[in-house]
Amino acid sequence: MSTKRTRKGRPADLAGLLPEAARALGLEEELRFARTMGVFGDLLREVAPHLAAVSHLVAIERSRLIVEARNPVAAQELHLRGAELARLFSERPGGERSIGVTVRIAAPGGERD
């Protein structure tokens, strides 16, 4: 005898359940920021793939993107391209209005995987 159940109806859309679960757990803001981080990461992979591997968005404060870089060279390029990145992020679906980029250099040993 098979214990396999037959599926009735359409499977639930997981992406549609996440906002409800996040709201129920009080994690709406964290989910929103995680999506925003993904949008910024996608943007960097498109316009500067070499920077995407060594930097990431850590916060948005007063409409400024706060980006952490793993080394001074990446930090300098992010700083120089800040206006361009802020503009592109503002125009991107899922992005937010941004007026600039503030770059921080990651503390040694604080690297992300």
Query: What is the average pLDDT score of the chain?
Result: 83
Kindly report, residue by residue over 12-50, the tens digit of the pLDDT. Answer: 555 565 566 656 666 667 767 788 999 999 999 999 999
On the question of pLDDT at 87 being above 70, the answer is yes
Domains of the chain: 29-105 (3.30.300.180)
DSSP the chain: ---PPPP-SPPP-HHHHHHHHHHHHT-HHHHHHHHHHHHHHHHHHHH-HHHHTTEEEEEEETTEEEEEESSHHHHHHHHHTHHHHHHHHHHSTT-----EEEEEEPPTT----
pTM comes to 0.71
pLDDT at 113: 45
